[in-house]
Amino acid sequence: MVLEKLGESLKATLEKIANAVFLDDKLINELIKEIQRALLQSDVNVKLVFDLSNKIKKRALEEEIPKGLTKKEHAINIVYEELAIFLGGVGHKIEINKKPFKIMLVGLFGSGKTTTAAKLANFFKKRAGRIAMIQLDMWRPAAFKQLEQLGKQINVTVFGDEKEKDPVKIYKKFEKELTDFDLVIIDTAGRDALSDELIEELNKINKIVNADERLLVISADIGQAAEKQAIAFHDTCNVTGVIVTKMEGTAKGGGALSACSVTKAPVKFIGIGEKINDFEEFNPKGFVSRLLGMGDIEALLEKAKDAITEEEAGDMSKKILKGEFNLLDLYDQMQAMKKMGPLSKVMELIPGMGQLKMPKELLDVQEGKLEKWRYIMDSCTKKELEDPELISGERIDRIARGSGVPSKEIRELIKQYRQSKKMMKMFKGGNMKNMEKLMKRMPGMKGMMG
Ligand code: GDP
Ligand code: MG
């Protein structure tokens, strides 16, 4: 996992908030210290850490708690919101809106430019039409071969000329051919440091290429030093964004991400491994949610959309709100859950659910179990389905005979039903507004958990 340590420390801190009996100023101060410690360990700049923690503290102590939120929920939400703002706030997606759209990569030696060129090409394969890459790095021997090989892997055309030493000439040579493509990715040479020579070279290339996006590629392991680099490159070739690579291999990524966010060059992508697919669009909100174990709500809703229709969702949430949750609903929800994947994984995606202790039985919805439930329900009367509390004693024996399922398993089903109903009540006491919203989109979840 990216920034695993930072995530763990922050999660532990939030759990303390969630578990606190009483959230007073003293506890808030303690939590702020822990957040500071976690960020400093991730190589975030000291001044940035203090600015951020002061902001969180001020809001937590002074802000009026919005209706429908508890003090704890409010505090957790502040931490989440401020961290997301800290890492850049809104995401910065690249829109391919002309032909050819040109993305030029710049950066120092070994930062990951060439690898990232292929990752980008692969990323846009599903979103843009024809894609080409061109190698303008005349410095590193075999730079062209490296890109050519990557191009083969992903079936993307690669231009270049090993014999030519002038990048401008190479670009001119292929310029006409490149106009056939929708997206052109331009790889360039680096140096050990941002020298005058590199600046001059990039300026020359920049002039002739006139790229729509100039992206600086930075390795995460330089931590907060990323700020200096981002500013220097921004000043010399007006970079439009940053790609932070090798995020998976360092604890310093928090430093690199936050450092870039204070420059005028937002982080647009992150590299999280050596393989072509180890690459993500950077979206601070989603990133922070995952980091905090609060879940990426959008990702969850995407999944939920596939699992159930709006109409089903609407019906279900009404029922749950009215407390009319019955056995058939439980069955429907279990089935919806199954479509979404392993429950434990889905749980991680829901805000606040990551920390929830789920009864183990709820976590394994096995194929066979659902089938048995179907048999049990087929042997129930309509009344029993609507009011499962009726099912006891002789009724259980009757259903067992009818369904061929042992009475023990029928009792289990009733137990599970009661648990779900109980959890539902728990949520009703909590933040209803958010839960309602979430539930509308995914009643399967809602019913399962409350
Ligand atoms: P360039 O000199 O800037 O073109 O850098 P390269 O693309 O040649 O990459 C340098 C090294 O970093 C290679 O070994 C890559 O496999 C590796 N690399 C690039 N991106 C990542 C990443 O996100 N994670 C990891 N672990 N390695 C990466
Ligand atoms: Mg290279």
Element at 133 (helix H, strand E): strand 131-135
Q: 77 CB under 6 A from ligand 1?
A: no
- Residues 229-233: contacts with CB under 8 Å, at least 24 apart: 229/108, 229/194, 230/259, 230/260, 230/263, 230/265, 231/263, 232/194, 233/106, 233/107, 233/194, 233/265
What does the block give as tokens for 439? 């539930």
**How far away, in angstroms, is 110 Cα from ligand 1 center?**
6
**How far away, in angstroms, is 100 Cα from ligand 2 center?**
22
**How far away, in angstroms, is 132 Cα from ligand 1 center?**
20
**pLDDT value, residue 90:** 81
- Is 166 strand, coil or helix? coil
Atom of ligand 1 nearest to the CA of 270: 23
- Is 428 strand, coil or helix? helix
Tokens 């050819």, residue located: 100
Ligand found nearest the CA of 142 = 2
Q: How far apart are CA 162 and CA 142, in angstroms?
A: 8
Q: Where are the domains of the chain?
A: 4-86, 101-293, 299-441
The closest residue, in CA terms, to atom 9 on ligand 1 is: 112
Q: How far apart are the first and last CA of the chain?
A: 30
Q: How far apart are CA 327 and CA 309, in angstroms?
A: 20
CB atoms within 10 A of CB 11: 17
Domain 101-293: CATH superfamily is P-loop containing nucleotide triphosphate hydrolases (3.40.50.300)
Question: Which residues is 134 bridged to in the sheet?
Answer: 159, 186
**pLDDT value, residue 68:** 65
Contact 348, 292 (CB under 8 A): no
Ligand found nearest the CA of 106 = 1
The closest residue, in CA terms, to atom 6 on ligand 1 is: 112
Full pLDDT tens readout for the chain, 450 residues: 688 888 888 888 888 887 787 888 888 898 899 999 999 999 999 999 999 999 999 999 898 887 667 787 788 888 888 998 998 888 888 999 999 999 999 999 999 999 999 999 999 988 888 999 999 999 998 999 999 999 999 999 999 999 999 999 999 999 999 999 999 999 999 999 888 899 999 999 999 999 999 999 999 999 999 998 988 898 888 899 999 999 998 989 999 998 887 777 899 999 999 999 999 999 888 888 878 876 544 444 444 444 445 455 555 555 555 556 677 777 776 666 666 555 555 555 555 555 455 555 555 555 567 778 888 888 888 888 888 889 988 999 999 988 888 999 899 888 888 877 776 665 554 444 444 444 444 434 433 433
Q: How far apart are CA 410 and CA 418, in angstroms?
A: 13
What does the block give as tokens for 408? 């023990």
Ligand found nearest the CA of 107 = 1
- Share the mean pLDDT of the chain: 82
**pLDDT value, residue 339:** 60
**How far away, in angstroms, is 181 Cα from ligand 2 center?**
22
Q: 109 CB under 6 A from ligand 1?
A: yes
Which pLDDT tens digit goes with each residue over 271-306?
A: 999 999 999 999 888 888 878 876 544 444 444 444
**pLDDT value, residue 98:** 93
Q: 190 CB under 6 A from ligand 1?
A: yes
> Exposure of 100 by Cβ count < 10 A (0-12 exposed, 13-18 middle, 19+ buried)?
buried
Amino acid at 13: T
Q: How far apart are CA 299 and CA 356, in angstroms?
A: 19
Phi-psi region of 399 (alpha: psi -120 to 50; beta: other; left: phi over 0): alpha
Q: 273 CB under 6 A from ligand 1?
A: yes
Name the residue of 245, 269, 276 to mutate for ligand 1: max ligand atoms within 8 A of Cβ.
Answer: 245
Element at 62 (helix H, strand E): helix 46-62
Contact 346, 303 (CB under 8 A): yes
Q: 110 CB under 6 A from ligand 1?
A: yes
Atom of ligand 1 nearest to the CA of 137: 4
Atom of ligand 1 nearest to the CA of 117: 7
- The structural architecture, per CATH, of the domain 299-441 is Orthogonal Bundle (1.10)
Q: How far is CA 231 from CA 40, 86, 225, 308, 375, in A?
A: 21, 17, 10, 47, 66
What does the block give as tokens for 346? 């889905």
Q: 112 CB under 6 A from ligand 1?
A: yes
**How far away, in angstroms, is 105 Cα from ligand 2 center?**
10
**pLDDT value, residue 342:** 54
Q: How far apart are CA 67 and CA 60, in angstroms?
A: 15
| pTM score over 0.85 | no
Q: 119 CB under 6 A from ligand 1?
A: no
**How far away, in angstroms, is 114 Cα from ligand 1 center?**
7
Name the residue of 274, 275, 277 to mutate for ligand 1: max ligand atoms within 8 A of Cβ.
Answer: 274
Contact 358, 346 (CB under 8 A): no
**pLDDT value, residue 239:** 92
The closest residue, in CA terms, to atom 27 on ligand 1 is: 274
Cis peptide, bond prior to residue 167, ω within 30 of zero: no
Q: 249 CB under 6 A from ligand 1?
A: yes
Q: Domain spanning 4-86 has what CATH number?
A: 1.20.120.140
Q: 246 CB under 6 A from ligand 1?
A: yes
Atom of ligand 1 nearest to the CA of 271: 23
Q: 111 CB under 6 A from ligand 1?
A: yes
Residue-level length of the chain? 450
Tokens 């648990």, residue located: 419
Amino acid at 293: G
Name the residue of 1, 106, 113, 115 to mutate for ligand 1: max ligand atoms within 8 A of Cβ.
Answer: 115
> Exposure of 371 by Cβ count < 10 A (0-12 exposed, 13-18 middle, 19+ buried)?
exposed
Q: How far apart are CA 420 and CA 359, in angstroms?
A: 10
